[in-house]
Structure 1
Amino acid sequence: MKNQEEKMAMTARTYMTIGPLVVLLLWIIVGASQNASTRGLTGDFLGGVASPFIGLVSAILVYLSFQQQIRANKIQMEALKQESKRNNIRSTLNILRSEISGLILENLVDDHKTYHGMQAFEKFVELPHQLGLGSLTNNENVADTIYGVLLIMQKEIAGMGGLSEELVKEFVDEFHIFYTLKLAKSLNSIESVSGNVTIDNIKESKRELVAMFQSYGYNI
């Protein structure tokens, strides 16, 4: 399609260059030897000869103009899609940060002390080691939130098809940074804990997420 358009554009440029020169040359050769009474007829003749060339050039230029507009519209639509996906992913990252910051954990053994945000997550990870698996029962909401955060990250990374390579790299990098700075250290410390369904689910989800990062070249 592109080669065809280039040929048409070249044809149009050729007609636009040669056409006027031919008409001018005919006018000089034919019209110069005529008197004023017959030059009008010659002009009509030359106009009739030039009209098909002008019409053809005009048609080609209109066609090329439409093709350029279609191409520009496609580029604009693709840019809008990319921007929409960019906004959706950034929104997801903000939601994940909000979920982490909104965690609340109550330690019923330690004078009912309450922990918030990352402190709640870190304390939740410590509980099985300090107090046994039974200590997790009263804070299942924290476990569910962490499990949900990991699943959302997996879903978002898996759904990055259709983005440019640059955007994919940008957002996988952001998820990787979020995971490394917020979750990795604490999640690694639960590897030795077993026997609790929720913990086992978190561990499995973590392994799948790490495998995703590794597929993009990140070493964890």
Structure 2
Amino acid sequence: FPLLISASIGLLPVTLFESAALVGACLLASVAGLAASGLLFDSSELGWLWILLVASGIGTLAGVSQTALMLQNFRDAATDPLTGLPNRRAGVNLLALQWEQARRNHGPFSVAMIDLDGFKRVNDTHGHEAGDRVLVGFAVRLRETLRAGDSLLRWGGEEFLAVLPGAESHDAVRRLEKMLHECPVLEPDGVPLTFSAGVAERGTDASSNPEALVALADRRMYEAKAAGRASVVAGPT
């Protein structure tokens, strides 16, 4: 019976920890049974014990493979396949964690909602593959603008959310405006593309939760678009 269980582990979707626990229990049960019957060192029983060890090894390898698969599935679920950035689903959790840390430390915490201007024209004129390349290039430029401790998320479509722990509103605005004026994103035909951004800061804007802060940054991003695009809108500093 322990041999049957151990051999079956290789076919079951169990993790490394679960596999090790089952394999260990099977080995202990087999050794204890042989010892109790006085057959532990009987040569006729050693073959079965060897088979059990081999089956247990196969089960452990299966557990390693299953754990690796689960980790890969988790990474895939949390990552935007086009840009390689964390997606919105993963970003919500990251945002909540960093918000709570800033709240406990009574430190500044800003977010910036960033949206490419006229991106639909790129898709309509040059095709979606060209549009994808523009998005990837834009994500790279944004990532280069942020600090090591900042996070950039693909929020949806051509929208990106920058999470800026420790940054006050004016600092976030300064860095985004620098990118806007010095590092234009180019369409496939070389025409510069601009972006509009809205910035919100936890303390300055007195937001009660991260969701409200992101919603405020989103509204300000649309204010930037309504005011003529190619600008960054923030609250009072």
Q: Give me the TM-score of the superposition, normalised by structure 2.
A: 0.33
The answer to which structure, 1 or 2, has the higher relative contact order (CA under 8 A, 6+ apart) is 2
**Pair member with larger Rg:** 1
**Which has the larger helix fraction?**
1
